[in-house]
């Protein structure tokens, strides 16, 4: 479609309060019904929140244009101080929402989900480099029983041995993050089939629209929160099948590994406590797993404090725990209406 053929329109964006899903509907959509001659492929929507990263966003969009299977539409929600994109410059149907007054990727994703029309919704961060077959490999993994498929981050930094030991010993039950071993072995798994997991990361995940249409990210979680993706997956319908496709590969410019002990304790204590209060409080097993995790955090803080000669790791653990408890105990706030300007091309 040529830029001159695109009809630009402007409208106020209406934001509905986030809903909750409780039914798992994995039946193929009408667009997936094969005809006698050709099979009509599912429609793909790509959702990208962005803020003050015009060059990175451009690179990510170029990667989508170069895919062996292009998406049918891209939805960009831009919180930048100035617009980051000319919609007419993207040779794929684009919905561009400029909303500098909103705060956080969670709210931005909710806005994009309100506008998505595809059968499959692919969520990406604005600073990724996609291999050319990324979208094709995501779609290849969608057998009828699958609710969601994630790609894999090829430059994921393997954490130091002390943190891997912590994960193996103290992170048990519902708190166990089964994504991590898959990410650690991205190269080894390159030619393997999809790996089943319980949760995804926001910047590499995708879902059937029929599964997540009524779900929304918690708008309380602003900035770079470790919990928004885990919380979203925890509220999926019971029994939802989630897969990581090792052949759907991308490079993420912001490596999630290698952070200082105090920062790590702060963010992980916030995430686990938030999830404990909001989702994982179903009985004695969850209670024991959370208590065991806190013992692990205390030991990690003690070791970090001895190495640093300060109590900063202890303070970080306590602050993260208090923040997570506060966020988890609050009910999700409804999104405000008419807060964004939309340009569609």
- 143 and 7 in one domain? yes
**What CA–CA distance (Å, rounded) separates 340 from 77?**
9
**Based on the domain organization, do 293 and 250 belong to the same domain?**
no
CATH of the domain at 203: 3.90.550.10
Are 183 and 286 contained in the same domain? no
Instruction: Tally the residues of the chain.
Output: 345
The pLDDT value recorded for residue 258 is 47
Looking at the structure of the chain, the number of domains it has is 2
Same domain for 187 and 212, yes or no, is: yes
In this structure, the answer to whether residues 194 and 304 fall within a common structural domain is no
Cα separation, 124 vs 96, whole angstroms? 15
Tokens 């994504």, residue located: 179
- Same-domain check for residues 115 and 213: yes
Does residue 303 share a domain with residue 237?
no
Quick one: CA torsion of 86, 207, 200, 57, rounded to 10 degrees? -10
pLDDT at position 278 is 86
Q: Give the pLDDT of the chain (345 residues) as one tens digit per residue.
A: 444 444 333 333 433 333 333 333 333 444 444 444 567 889 999 999 999 999 999 999 999 999 999 999 999 999 999 999 999 999 999 999 999 999 889 999 999 999 999 999 999 999 999 999 999 999 999 999 999 999 999 988 888 888 889 988 999 888 888 888 888 888 888 888 999 999 998 899 999 999 999 999 988 887 655 688 989 999 999 999 999 999 999 999 864 444 578 888 998 899 899 989 888 877 899 999 999 999 999 999 998 889 888 899 989 999 999 988 888 887 544 434 444 555 554
Q: How many angstroms separate the CA atoms of 52 and 85, rounded?
A: 11
- 233 shares a domain with 129: yes
Of 176, 5, 40, 104, nearest to 339 (Cα)? 104
On whether both 89 and 190 belong to a single domain, the answer is yes
Domain that holds residue 239: 3-257+337-344
Q: Check residue 259 and give its pLDDT.
A: 55
* Residue 267 sits in the same domain as residue 253: no
How far apart are the C-alpha atoms of 297 and 206, rounded to whole Å?
A: 32
Residue 83 shares a structural domain with residue 29: yes
| Predicted pLDDT of residue 338 | 42
Name the phi and psi angles at 45, rounded to 5: -110, 135
Q: Quote the CA–CA distance of 194 and 2 in Å, as a whole number.
A: 37
How far the first Cα of the chain sits from its last, in Å, is 10
Task: Write down the pLDDT at residue 191.
Answer: 82
Concatenate the DSSP letters of all residues of 136-148 into one string.
Answer: HHHHHT--TTEEE
């Amino acid at each position: 479609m040529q830029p001159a053929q695109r009809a630009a329109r402007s409208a106020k964006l209406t934001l509905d309060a986030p809903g909750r899903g409780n039914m798992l509907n994995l039946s193929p959509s009408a667009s997936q019904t094969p005809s006698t001659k050709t099979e009509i492929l599912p429609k793909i929507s790509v959702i990208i929140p962005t803020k003050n990263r015009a060059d990175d966003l451009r690179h990510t969009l170029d990667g989508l244009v170069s895919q062996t299977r292009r998406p049918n539409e891209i939805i960009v929600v831009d919180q930048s101080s100035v617009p980051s994109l000319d919609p007419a410059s993207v040779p794929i149907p684009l919905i561009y929402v400029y909303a500098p007054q909103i705060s956080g990727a969670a709210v931005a994703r909710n806005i994009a989900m309100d506008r998505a029309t595809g059968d499959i919704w692919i969520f990406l961060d604005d600073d990724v480099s996609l291999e050319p077959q990324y979208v094709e490999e995501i779609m290849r993994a969608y057998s009828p029983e699958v609710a969601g498929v994630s790609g894999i981050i090829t430059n994921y930094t393997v954490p130091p041995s002390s943190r891997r030991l912590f994960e193996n010993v103290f992170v048990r039950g519902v708190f166990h993050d089964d994504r991590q071993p898959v990410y650690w072995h991205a190269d080894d798994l390159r030619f393997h089939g999809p790996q089943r997991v319980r949760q995804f990361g926001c910047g590499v995940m995708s879902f059937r629209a029929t599964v997540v249409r009524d779900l929304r990210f918690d708008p309380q979680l602003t900035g770079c929160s470790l919990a928004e993706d885990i919380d979203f997956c925890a509220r999926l319908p019971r029994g939802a099948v989630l897969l990581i496709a090792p052949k759907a590969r991308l490079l993420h410019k912001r490596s999630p590994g290698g952070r200082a002990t105090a920062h790590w304790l702060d963010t992980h204590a916030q995430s686990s406590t938030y999830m404990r209060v909001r989702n994982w409080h179903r009985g004695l097993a969850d209670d024991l797993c959370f208590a065991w995790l806190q013992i692990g955090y205390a030991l990690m803080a003690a070791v970090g404090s001895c190495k640093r000669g300060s109590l900063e790791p202890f303070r970080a653990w306590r602050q993260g725990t208090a923040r997570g408890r506060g966020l988890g105990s609050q009910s999700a706030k409804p999104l405000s209406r008419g807060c964004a300007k939309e340009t569609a091309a």
